[in-house]
Structure 1
């Protein structure tokens, strides 16, 4: 397979009206993408269709037809998983068990990268939350599966953990699982957590020193509605936010991360998907103000 770089796509739907994974591939192709991200079921629910109903074989035929490498695809874990909860043992146990099931589903679908929000310590402490996250990850990695977990960088709202590279580096070191645990860099979350993406080279140096480039498994490429360090989480369309088009282009085309999938999670404009226009602009390295009549 002759890959084209960069590897860019968006968070697409997977539902019955669009024949599940068949529709996911179709959406990506329509967007001009060479990767995509999905949920395997509702993000706020544990209800799941059996994987044998998702048209997995047909998906892989279509991926080959459109020169999309399944190793570049991403699944996002559901939001109801909170491995960092130190105050509710039932919530934590549910999270561990459900994450194992999601990893199994990824293996069955043939997608290796599972992005996971590290979680929140709720009424506990940050230290206790990180300890529970580490404990939970060690348990889920006992399963003999191919799935890799990419801990997402978080914005620092509420009691989230995983809000800086020091916390993420600590978790990675304590868990081990060298070949199966890494991070997902979310540009909106990084901006809101206090990282100035105008200084991308400095951020890269910190990543390399504390975590290592090889641990970066995915990117979420989003602009932000918020100023640096706002500790919120409001994604903006590419070029319309405080990060800016040029910074996001630089990240997309960075040679050190050219083989890492970049996923857009930018807002719809009413019922209009932004992804085709945003992907075209990013690939052309030229912002066209595509939503000037909607913004």
Structure 2
């Protein structure tokens, strides 16, 4: 049986105020983990690390029993790109991000596999593999997570088979896992509303559930197989509250950390977390 107190949940927080401030914001909204961008999500620059600020966050996490946090790469990073300049940018950005993450040891780093932009899925996958083989090391403590995608445009990673291909080609595969985005997989055509067990069985058969480390918990504005990638607040989309609760309480998922990426401000995320905790406490546990 699962109580709301065992829930590992947080949301995406702004890193503009610093690491310690993010930790404080998480505690204010009754979250026990959080996600943040490593740098400007639409740009390239990363702020210089304030090591005192980092240490304050680490102390806060220890004092409050916070779960592993998740760093998100910028949207501008495209590991699939066939253009040398863009691919090199992705390589250097991820390498720098992972070096910086070692000041926050033992946490997660999430990235989008990218867009093949017309060169084809297989070529895009090879580009991602090449990049990961250059940046992943035996000594790193960070678990790098491939995010499941919706299949919008030329996105790679909307099919479990594509993610498996990437993982199979990476030498340091023990440093690589999956972050499942509920909006993305639904929009990609996986019926987590009516056949969650079937979807998880397929994931386990192709990739292995032992490779699933985190979940982006989002509702979807669009119907299944829409390939649109438009997140909705919890319970107000086409996935719906019942399916969200099924995901949260599923025995193969319930021990994982959940990160909200819904279109909400801090107060809105607080309300969503309260809604979820109340629903779990009312008999869904």
Bin the TM-score by the shorter chain. Answer: over 0.9
Q: How does 1:140-219 map to 2 (within 5 A)?
A: 140-142=135-137, 144-198=139-193, 199-219=195-215
Secondary structure at 1:284's aligned position in 2? helix
Q: TM-score, normalized by length of structure 2?
A: 0.92
Q: Equivalent of 2:254, from 232, 243, 258?
A: 258
1:22-101 map, 5 Å: 22-52=20-50, 55-69=53-67, 72-86=68-82, 88-101=83-96
Equivalent residue in structure 1 for 2:277, among 269, 280, 283 = 283
Q: Whole-Å Cα distance in 1 between the matches of residues 161 and 111 of structure 2?
A: 17
Q: Secondary structure at the match of 1:285?
A: helix
Distance in 1 separating the partners of 2:138 and 2:45: 22
- Number of residue pairs matched by the alignment: 278
**Given that residues 41 and 73 in structure 2 are in contact (C-alpha distance below 8 angstroms), is that contact kept between their aligned partners in structure 1?**
yes
In 2, the alpha carbon distance for the partners of 1:48 and 1:143 equals 25
Report what 2:10 is aligned to: 9
In the alignment, structure 1 segments of 5+ residues that lack a partner are: 288-295
Counterpart contact for 1:156–1:163, Cα < 8 Å? yes
Show structure 1 runs of 4+ deviating over 3 A.
none
Over residues 238-275 of structure 1, what are the superposed CA-to-partner deviations in whole Å (9 max), with x where a residue is unaligned?
Answer: 0000001111111112222233211000002xx56321
Number of the residue aligned with 1:292:
none
Post-superposition Cα deviations, 1:12-36, rounded to whole Å, max 9, x if no partner, equal 11113xxx11110111111111110
RMSD: 2.0
TM-score, structure 1 normalization: 0.89
